[in-house]
Amino acid sequence: MSMSLDSPEIILPGDPLPQLSPLLSPPSTETSTSTTDTKPRSLRLGPGLTLSPTTPSTPILPYRYGTLNLTSHTKRPTASILSTPRHYHPSTNDPVLVTLLRTTAEQFIVQLAPYTPPAIIPFENYIINNAGTTASARKSRPNLPIGATIYARVAVVHKHLESVELSVPDPTFGEVISQKNTSSSSSSNQKNKKESSTSISAGTTTGASSIANRAEVTPYILSTSQPMTKLLLAEETLGKPLLSAVASKVPFEMIVGKNGRVWIDATTQKEVIQVVRCFKEFDEAEAWNDEDGGLAKGRQIVGKVCGK
């Protein structure tokens, strides 16, 4: 997703969206279009848009402020409102980093973000050794301590159901190591980590192997705002200036959860703190809102935190 240079028009909740009308196939013309198209084109509504039967003139209602994002070239055109509220709104397939609150007979109860309703990971969704049945899933479930951090995927978001359901579909997900002394069980996790995390280092060597051998360092989990999270996830585009600036000073690894949690690891405690501070100060200064995407601010912060 690239950003256009000219700032697009801000859409407020309730604004009419006439540009979407051509994409809607009204029922009367459906028969005529079906002769040319085998399937009527249907528009998918992404976050920020909803159908409003009460306003027939503008059936598609934006409910959040932002800019319209339209992908019409694909088979199924999708429209959504691009917006960066600080709050995390879960949507299906999002990778998230969650904290374990408690374990019940059937599921893990986890927290996506502070003060929000808890989410669940049913044991049958926690697949480690290709456990097929519910019974075997329950038996093979890992014994996780309260407060453990799990890298999971949002499986079901249904607002009327009890909660958001997450899954740990394959070994790239799972518990991320939080403690040194659980080394016996973390051998597999170490592997998990390497596959799922982003290893960023300036040098030619990849940071992952060297960091895995660290002595007395524990990783840290940083909470970030939604815009910052999006920036860190877009490591090749939006996040590149900041990430490469930090990586040029300190090699580090990170796993970004879309819920605004970032797992950070480096070779020493001090280095982890440096990375954390760079991200945190960048976020708190709302540097992602800057004209240059935080390029100058990012350099300044990195210079201040990590030294020349």
Partner 1 sequence: MTSSPLIPEISLNPLPQSDGSCQYTCPTSRTTILTSVNGPLEVRPKDELPNHATIEVIVKPGIGVAGVRETRLSSLIHSTLQSLILTNHHPRTLIQIVAQIVQAEDHTSLPLLLTPLLNCTILSLLIAGIPMRTVGWSVHLAVLQNNSRGNFKTAEGQVFKLEEKTGGNGDKMDTEENEKAVAVVVRNPNSEILGLAKSSHTLTFSKEGEMLLIESLECSQGSGGESADGQGWDITDFLKLAEEGKRICCEEGVEIVRDALGDRKVF
Partner 2 sequence: MPKEPEISLAEKTFVLEALKQNLRVDGRNIHSFRDIQFSFGDDYGFVDVRLGKTRVLARISAEIIRPRPDRPFEGTFTISTEMGPMASPSFEVGRPTDLDNTLSRLLEKSIRRSTALDLESLCIVTAQRVWSLRADLHFLSHDGNLIDTACIATITALAHFRLPVVTVSGEDITIHPVTERVPVPLSLLHWPICVTFSFFGEDDDGEMVCVLDATAQEEALREGDMTVTVNKNGEVCQISKSGGVAVEAETLMKCARKAAEKVKGIDKLIASALRGDEIARNKGNLDWLKEGRSENER
Residue 181 CB, nearest approach to partner 1 (Å): 33
286 interface partner picked from partner 1, partner 2, none, CB below 5 to 8 A per type: partner 1
Q: How far apart (Å, rounded) are the C-alpha atoms in residues 236 and 257? A: 17
Report what 179 binds from partner 2, partner 1, none; CB cut-off 5-8 Å by kind: partner 2
Structure tokens at 116: 């929000």
| DSSP reduced 3-state for 101 | strand
Contact 88, 48 (CB under 8 A): no
Contact residue for partner 1 among 37, 106, 195, 284 (CB under 8 A): 284
Stretch that binds partner 1, among 6-14, 141-149, 176-184, 209-217 (CB under 8 A): 6-14
State the first-to-last Cα distance of the chain, in angstroms, to the nearest integer.
Answer: 33
Window of 83-91, 126-134, 135-143, 295-303 that interacts with partner 1 by CB under 8 A? 83-91
Give how far the C-alpha of residue 24 lies from the chain's centroid of Cα atoms, to the nearest Å. Answer: 30
Q: Residue 89 binds which entry of partner 1, partner 2, none, with Cβ cut-offs from 5 to 8 Å by kind?
A: partner 1
H/E element, 296 = helix 295-306
Which residues are 165's β-sheet partners? 120, 156
Q: Which of 24, 45, 221, 285 binds partner 2 (CB under 8 A)?
A: 221
CB of 222 to partner 2, least distance (A): 9
Neighbours of 260 (CB within 10 A): 25
Select from partner 2, partner 1, none the partner in contact with residue 14, using the beta carbon and a kind-dependent cut-off of 5 to 8 Å: partner 1
Q: How far is the CB of 39 from partner 2 (least distance, A)?
A: 46
Tell me whether residue 170 or residue 281 sits nearer to partner 1 (CB atom).
281
Q: How far is CA 116 from CA 18, 112, 173, 180, in A?
A: 36, 7, 23, 30
Report residue 291 as tokens.
């004209």
Q: Is 1 in the site for partner 1 (CB under 8 A)?
A: yes
What does 305 interact with, of partner 2, partner 1, none (CB < 5 to 8 A by kind)? partner 2
Tell me the angle at which helices 240-247 and 269-284 cross, rounded to the nearest 10 degrees: 150
The DSSP code for 47 is T
- From CA 45, how far away is CA 38, in angstroms rounded? 21
Q: How far is Cα 196 from Cα 172, in angstroms, rounded to an integer?
A: 5
Point out which residues bind partner 2 (CB under 8 A). Answer: 99, 101, 111, 114-115, 145-149, 176, 178-179, 216, 218-221, 263, 269-270, 272-274, 276-277, 280, 284, 305
Point out which residues bind partner 1 (CB under 8 A). Answer: 1, 3, 7, 10, 12-15, 50, 52, 61, 63-67, 82-87, 89, 115-118, 159-160, 227, 230-231, 234, 238, 284, 286, 288-289
